[in-house]
A and B are shown apart, each in its own frame.
Chain A
Amino acid sequence: MTLLILGGTVLVFAIVVGNTYLASREIIFVEAEKRARNLAASLAARLEQEFRAIAKVPLGVVAVLETQEQNMELLSRLLYRSLEHNREIYGMAVGYEPYTKGDQKYHCLYYYREGTGIRSTYLGSENYDYFQMDWYFLPRKLLRPIWTEPYFDEGGGNILMCTYSIPFSGRPAIPDSKPMSGVVTADMSLSWLHLIMSGGDTGLNGYAFLISETGRFIVHPQQKLVMRESIFSLAEEAIQPQLRNLGRKMVRLPGGFERIESVLSPSPVVVAFSRVPSPGWSVAVVLPEDELFSELHAHNQQTALMVLVGISLLFVVILLISRSITRPIHFMVQATAKVASGNLAVDLAPIHGRDEIGRLAEAFTHMSNELQQYIKDLTTTTALNERIHSELNIAAQIQASILPSTFPPFPEHDDFSLYAQMKPAREIGGDFYDFFLIDEERLALVMADVSGKGVPAALFMMVSRTIIKSLATQGKSPAEVLAEANDLLCQGNDAAMFVTTFLAYYHVAAGTLIMSNAGHNPPYRIDADGVVHALPKPPGTALGFIPGLAYTEKEESLAPGETLVFYTDGVTEATAPDGQFFGEDRLIGLLSQYYQLELEDTCHRIIEVLDKFQAGEQFDDITLLMIKRT
């Protein structure tokens, strides 16, 4: 992430800096061109000015020569004065056509500076045949004033110079006289040119140079090139077509601007040139590019440095920030992994701070603590549940062992068979049955259903059973037993529990029954042929509701082969998934179907069917007690 941010920042910076740089470069180029051109033009203009100024002087002399009588003294004075008043002129000469002065071939008066004074001499000899020299030859040929190429005037001025030479024709004495009588010259020393040329501001490493009409270097910072090389020869030597092109342009065009690479100097330069019309020369101003841009480069370097520092700082800041984010997150990730593996004791204390990360850490710690607590509670609850469950299992065992469950219960009695079963809806139930001998002859049968199920019902069931058995074994009649039991059960019965009870005393030998009912379903009687009869229901309110109630008794008898079936409403009110009740009819049907089986088997069959009917869900305790007179 850090790298991404950094990358983006660097990109932005790069674009901005790059753009600025390029824009600046552009501007500099434009300015440089302007500057160079201006400089070249101004130099050229100054040179031109000088040339023109110098040109005027011999022109004056020509005017005199062409209008006055030939007077050498006058001429001498003129030349002297001209030289005296024109510091720029090094020397002036008046050279005549051959044999103008009698039999003298050469006649050339020359005034020149030497030191601080002015001297004169006559030029012309075998060694100095001035007729062949450019300053005489060219104007004679062209019959117009010319500026010569620079030359070294050996035997004459003995310096490097160039000369302005004007042909004149003296006062025509004879009509068919020659077109030219001679020339008047004015010399300009090149060293003085140098002065002008070096006067321009070409910067630290820039320079100006001057080439002649033929491209020859007249002024150049590299002395060895002056007069010896031309721009073309230089181009030839260095095999630089660019330079040659420049030269061509310079000698032809009035002005221009070029960019030359690594020829005139190792690095690229810009060149502006401007023509000096009089001599047909060209001034060039050379500015090294890197100097132009030196300031820009320096500035750029500064900017780059600032950018670099800025980016480094930014980098550090970003790093710190992202670390302050990612470190805590990394920390929390680790903590989460720890929690996931079950170790909830995570410590996020190292993360502090008021920002979102801090809050996240807080929330995480909170969650972790909550989780710890929850797990603790859950563990406790589960342990508790397991304990309760195991206790319930024990309770179920206790309950099961309390209800008589040994069958056959009275093996010595072969005059009846008996079977009973209680299937609780939960681990322990509220239904109960009981049977016990009251005396040798009578068997008490109890079928009861406590309101509700589970532990509360079971507790009440235990109490009820005990009370009933204890009362019955005291010899009381069924009605008496129920009445007293009711009173006892109403006491301390804040939960308004009640128990429906059917109590019957069966005289074993006679097969007679005395029955009393407290709100319970009466039993069925299956006769020997399997026909099921419902016994009438003796009225009576369930035990435990209100005290002081009385109960009635009814008598019934069982013929041999007949079966009495006691049940609780858990059988008839068993509910199928679709809401249907099992009902009396189905029970009656089952009883008729299986009456011939052993009581135990009949019982089991019925329970099986009920199980299927309820599709495994049991809502209420199911109890069955069957007794058959054999």
Chain B
Amino acid sequence: MEVQTQQKNGATVVAVTGRLDAVTAPDLEKTLAGLVDQNQLKIILNMTGLSYISSAGLRCVLSTSKKLGAKRGKLILTGVMGMVKEVFQMAGLYDLLTIFSTDEEALKGG
């Protein structure tokens, strides 16, 4: 799994690629927690390159979302598609999270 962070228009875009499972989730968790601690309150998580997400990955996303919410920040997901989308839908989380198709839309809208 690879994580790439970028600053864009006042938001932090975190692009994650590969597998997000119990082995790799802690790394992403650390990166995201770091951003939250630095008060990067608008985080866009780009999941275009993600091939698989497990419940551990879901948990990481949810945890970040809750943390940001507590600080009045926002977690926006983009590029949620394929199997990853199915998992979110299955867990009933798809409708509860802020999801956009592309980063641009997220930057504009969120």
With the chains together, A450 CA to B59 CA distance in Å? 10
Binds A, one of B7-15, B91-99, B101-109: B91-99
Q: A518 contacts which of B58, B65, B92, B96 (Cβ < 8 Å)?
A: B92
Task: Identify which of residues 425-451 in chain A touch chain B, using a CB-to-CB cut-off of 8 Å.
Answer: 430, 449-451
| Contact (Cβ within 8 A) A452 B59 | yes
- A541 and B62 contact, Cβ closer than 8 Å, known pairs A450-B55, A452-B22: no
| Contact (Cβ within 8 A) B92 A452 | no
With the chains together, A315 CA to B41 CA distance in Å? 80
Q: A451 contacts which of B52, B55, B95 (Cβ < 8 Å)?
A: B55
Least CB distance from B78 to A in Å reads: 20
Least CB distance from A129 to B in Å reads: 146
With the chains together, A521 CA to B62 CA distance in Å? 19
With the chains together, A453 CA to B59 CA distance in Å? 11
| Contact (Cβ within 8 A) A545 B56 | no
With the chains together, A497 CA to B59 CA distance in Å? 6
| Contact (Cβ within 8 A) B59 A498 | yes
Interface string of B81-101 (1 = CB under 8 A from A): 000000100111101100000
- A619 and B21 contact, Cβ closer than 8 Å, known pairs A500-B90, A537-B90, A542-B93: yes
- A546 and B96 contact, Cβ closer than 8 Å, known pairs A496-B66, A500-B91, A573-B54: yes
| Contact (Cβ within 8 A) B21 A545 | no
Closest to A537 in B: B90
With an 8 A cutoff between CB atoms, is A289 at the interface?
no
Task: Identify which of residues 528-564 in chain A touch chain B, using a CB-to-CB cut-off of 8 Å.
Answer: 537, 539-542, 545-546
Q: A452 contacts which of B56, B87, B93, B96 (Cβ < 8 Å)?
A: B56
Residues of A within 8 A of B21 (CB): 619
Q: B96 contacts which of A500, A541, A569, A619 (Cβ < 8 Å)?
A: A541
| Contact (Cβ within 8 A) B96 A545 | yes
Residues of B within 8 A of A542 (CB): 91-93
Q: B58 contacts which of A430, A451, A520, A581 (Cβ < 8 Å)?
A: A451
Closest to B60 in A: A496
With an 8 A cutoff between CB atoms, is A97 at the interface?
no
With the chains together, A540 CA to B96 CA distance in Å? 10
| Contact (Cβ within 8 A) B91 A498 | yes
With the chains together, A495 CA to B85 CA distance in Å? 23
With the chains together, A591 CA to B90 CA distance in Å? 22
With an 8 A cutoff between CB atoms, is A149 at the interface?
no
With an 8 A cutoff between CB atoms, is A215 at the interface?
no
With an 8 A cutoff between CB atoms, is A157 at the interface?
no
Interface string of B10-43 (1 = CB under 8 A from A): 0000000000011000000000000000000000
Residue of B21, B52, B92 ringed by the most chain A CB atoms within 10 A? B92
Interface string of A397-430 (1 = CB under 8 A from B): 0000000000000000000000000000000001
With an 8 A cutoff between CB atoms, is A519 at the interface?
yes
Closest to A546 in B: B96
Task: Identify which of residues 63-89 in chain B touch chain A, using a CB-to-CB cut-off of 8 Å.
Answer: 63, 65-66, 87
| Contact (Cβ within 8 A) A541 B93 | yes
With the chains together, A540 CA to B63 CA distance in Å? 19
Residues of A within 8 A of B54 (CB): 573, 619-620
| Contact (Cβ within 8 A) B55 A495 | no
- A496 and B59 contact, Cβ closer than 8 Å, known pairs A453-B22, A546-B96, A619-B21: yes
Number of interface residues of B (CB under 8 A): 19
| Contact (Cβ within 8 A) A495 B63 | yes
| Contact (Cβ within 8 A) B62 A540 | no
With the chains together, A545 CA to B64 CA distance in Å? 12
Least CB distance from A58 to B in Å reads: 137
With the chains together, A619 CA to B58 CA distance in Å? 15
Closest to B64 in A: A496
Q: A519 contacts which of B56, B65, B66, B90 (Cβ < 8 Å)?
A: B90
Residue of A521, A537, A539, A542 ringed by the most chain B CB atoms within 10 A? A542
| Contact (Cβ within 8 A) B56 A539 | no
Residues of B within 8 A of A451 (CB): 55-56, 58-59, 62
With the chains together, A452 CA to B62 CA distance in Å? 13
Residues of A within 8 A of B63 (CB): 495-496
Q: B92 contacts which of A541, A569, A619 (Cβ < 8 Å)?
A: A541
- A452 and B90 contact, Cβ closer than 8 Å, known pairs A496-B62, A545-B62: no
Closest to B54 in A: A620
| Contact (Cβ within 8 A) B62 A498 | yes
Residue of B58, B63, B91, B95 ringed by the most chain A CB atoms within 10 A? B91
Residues of B within 8 A of A537 (CB): 90
With the chains together, A497 CA to B66 CA distance in Å? 11
- A452 and B55 contact, Cβ closer than 8 Å, known pairs A498-B62, A545-B96, A546-B96: yes
Least CB distance from B79 to A in Å reads: 20
With the chains together, A518 CA to B56 CA distance in Å? 17
- A539 and B58 contact, Cβ closer than 8 Å, known pairs A452-B22, A453-B22: no
With the chains together, A537 CA to B89 CA distance in Å? 11
Residues of B within 8 A of A569 (CB): 55, 87
With the chains together, A454 CA to B56 CA distance in Å? 11
Residues of A within 8 A of B22 (CB): 452-454, 619
Least CB distance from B105 to A in Å reads: 24
With the chains together, A12 CA to B52 CA distance in Å? 81
Residues of B within 8 A of A497 (CB): 59
10 tightest CB-CB pairs across the interface, nearest first?
A541-B92, A496-B63, A519-B91, A451-B55, A451-B59, A519-B92, A542-B91, A496-B62, A452-B56, A540-B92
7 of the cross-chain contacts (CB-CB < 8 Å) are A450-B55, A500-B90, A519-B92, A539-B92, A541-B92, A545-B62, A619-B54
Show the binding face of A for B, using Cβ within 8 Å: 430, 449-454, 495-498, 500, 517-521, 537, 539-542, 545-546, 569, 573, 581, 619-620
Show the binding face of B for A, using Cβ within 8 Å: 21-22, 52, 54-56, 58-59, 62-63, 65-66, 87, 90-93, 95-96
Beyond A521-B90, A545-B96, A620-B55, list 6 extra A-B contacts (CB 8 Å).
A451-B59, A452-B22, A452-B56, A452-B59, A542-B92, A542-B93
